[in-house]
Amino acid sequence: MLRDTLEMNIKRIIDFLIYSKNFIIRKNPLKAMKNSFVEGLKEFLTMNKKRKMAQYRLNYHRHQCQKMEQLIAENNQHAYNRGSHLNETR
Q: Tell me: the pLDDT tens digits for 6-41? A: 999 999 999 999 999 999 999 998 999 999 999 999
pLDDT value at residue 39:
96
**For 16, what's the count of Cα atoms within 13 Å in the CB-facing half-sphere?**
6
Rounded average pLDDT over 52-58: 97
Q: pTM for this structure?
A: 0.49
Helix-strand-coil split of the chain, %, nearest 5: 90, 0, 10
**Range scoring the smallest mean pLDDT among 7-16, 20-29, 44-53, 77-86:** 77-86
Residue 90 has pLDDT above 50, yes or no: no
72, 85 contact by CB (below 8 A): no
Domain ranges across the chain: 1-45, 50-90
